[in-house]
Amino acid sequence: MIRFILLLSLLALPLSVVAQPPQSVAWNIVEGLTTEVGPRLAGTEAESMARIWAVGKLKALGFSNVRSEAFVMPVWVRGDERASLTYDHGPQNLIITALGNSGATPTNGLNGEVIGFSSLEEMIAAPNDEIRGKIVYIGNAMHATQDGSSYGYFGNARRKGPNIAAKKGAVAVVIRSIGTDHHRMPHTGVTNWDADVKPIPSAALSSPDADQIERNLARQHKCFEEFQQKAACSLVSLKLLLTPKFIGERQSGNVIAEVPGTDPAAGVVVIGGHLDSWDLGTGAIDDGAGVAITTAAAKAILDSGKKPRRTVRVIWWGAEEVGGFGGAAYFKAHGTEAHAFASESDFGADRIWRVDFGLPDSAKALVARLTSALAALGIGPGSDPASGGTDVGELVKSGVPVIDLQQDGTRYFDLHHTADDTLDKIDRVQLEQNVAAWAIVLDAVANAPENLLFRVK
Ligand SMILES: [Zn+2]
């Protein structure tokens, strides 16, 4: 009878609840963070809520010394964002999103002729006279690579393009999204201004909308060539409305948790991901996955019941996306402490396929042990020097040993910094492969008998 009642009550549950596989630590974190907090733009109320959530979660998981370390930073928030191509027969709406730190248009928008460039270099080479008073478009199409290496080069159109265009007299900038999808899904991300440059309105177009502008520019170009005079051809022009604003200095913070070690003189091992996200999606792959993967690996050490030699310090970094403020604040507060290792997971949740090392010569045996242990998960050694990620960049630059567990980035830039960065994009099998690899590395570096306090450089 009891069995029958149980069966009946199970049947009364929605099928999705019954069908869920058991929750792993990593899935539980990324599912909880994206569902209960959602988007968490640095310095906002949402990121503050994420820190409260993080402290509660890390305490509940059994970590020691759980705390939030605050710092202040300048905050930019998104407003309305609309764009249309202006044809004689009427406007055609385009899908855009403002770049982080973008300036605003007047409240009723801005109209301008578009001047197009296929790359940042082409725009830099153009005479200022051609650019002055116009809306600059930068094409710069990025293609997917497994290691994500193309982001460094193509991303410069977003990071540096608007500042350079503003200096050359542009009234606004629109770029093709720094992404590899073909959906009407624009990719945001930070753009940087020199101290003496007034931010101009700057936005990213979805890839199909960038194609539309390019086809129109090609027709305009052909028309110029045929008639040799501008007046004979209809110019490509845009109406743009962007109303983001800077709201001054606000509080952000790093959330820190530890598994205390037995040998304080051996140095601290730092791992983690960044807690803040862009505001468009729920920050599942960027970087809910990273905090989930690294925390689950540390939880495995905790659950082993054996104290590690070195203290494991898990950091959920604040304000990474908007300029690495969390990493800078941590280095200022803790940079002089003995660090034996630092690494970050910040490239989604797809499987790790390669490992790059940045360890001192004294740790050759550790590299050999790790290479063999990771091979069992299908991970082979690479030859690039490891760099660790934005938040541990200062530590690594100071010579702290580092390992990069390289994830498959083939689809990462389809989703990166878009509204499509949501939980359903995380493949649970690949997520767990990440946790397994991080657990191997963490166990090895936290317990290595080798001295890891010899600086790498
Ligand atoms: Zn990230």
Instruction: Note the pTM of the prediction, 2 decimals.
Output: 0.93
**What pLDDT is stored for residue 1 in this prediction?**
47
Tokens 């202040």 belong to residue: 72
Ion ligand 1, residue ranges at CB < 5 A:
286-287, 346
Q: How many CB atoms lie within 10 A of CB 454?
A: 14
**What pLDDT is stored for residue 9 in this prediction?**
52
**What pLDDT is stored for residue 178 in this prediction?**
98
Q: Which residues of 300-337 are buried (b: 16+ CB within 10 A; e: fewer)?
A: bbbeeeebbbbbbbbbbbbbbbbbbbbbbbbbeebeee
**What pLDDT is stored for residue 21 in this prediction?**
53
d(CA 226, CA 246): 46
Spatial contact of 301 and 259, defined as CB atoms under 8 Å apart: yes
Angle at CA of residue 206, ends 215 and 196, nearest 5°: 100
Q: How many CB atoms lie within 10 A of CB 445?
A: 28
CA 320 to centroid of ligand 1, rounded, Å: 7
Write down the number of H helices and E strands in the chain.
16, 16
CA 289 to centroid of ligand 1, rounded, Å: 10
Give the three-state DSSP class for 294: helix
**What pLDDT is stored for residue 42 in this prediction?**
98
The Cβ-side half-sphere exposure at 244, using a 13 Å CA radius, reads 24
Cis link prior to 420 (omega < 30° from 0)? no
Residues 6+ apart with CB under 8 A from 245: 76, 77, 79, 104
List Cα–Cα distances, 321 to 48, 186, 206, 325, 335, in angstroms: 15, 16, 20, 9, 21
CA 283 to centroid of ligand 1, rounded, Å: 9
**What pLDDT is stored for residue 450 in this prediction?**
94
CA 287 to centroid of ligand 1, rounded, Å: 5
d(CA 349, CA 286): 9
d(CA 379, CA 396): 23
Single-letter code of the amino acid located at 129: D
CA 95 to centroid of ligand 1, rounded, Å: 23
List Cα–Cα distances, 377 to 8, 92, 305, 372, in angstroms: 42, 50, 24, 10
CA 376 to centroid of ligand 1, rounded, Å: 28
The secondary structure of 227-276 as a DSSP string is HSSGGGSPPPEEEEEE--EEEEEEEEEEEEEEE--S-GGG-EEEEEEE--
Spatial contact of 315 and 58, defined as CB atoms under 8 Å apart: no
CA 273 to centroid of ligand 1, rounded, Å: 8
For the chain, the helix, strand and coil percentages under 3-state DSSP, each to the nearest 5: 40, 25, 35
Give the three-state DSSP class for 98: strand
CA 446 to centroid of ligand 1, rounded, Å: 25
Q: How many CB atoms lie within 10 A of CB 128?
A: 10
Mean pLDDT by 10 residues, the chain (457 residues): 49 49 87 98 98 98 98 98 94 98 98 97 98 97 93 96 98 98 98 98 98 96 87 90 98 98 97 98 98 98 96 98 97 97 98 97 95 98 93 96 98 98 98 98 97 79
CA 12 to centroid of ligand 1, rounded, Å: 40
Torsion of CA 104, 108, 113, 114, to 10 degrees: 40
Angle at CA of residue 287, ends 282 and 288, nearest 5°: 65
**What pLDDT is stored for residue 8 in this prediction?**
46
Tokens 């010394």 belong to residue: 65
Angle at CA of residue 258, ends 257 and 259, nearest 5°: 145
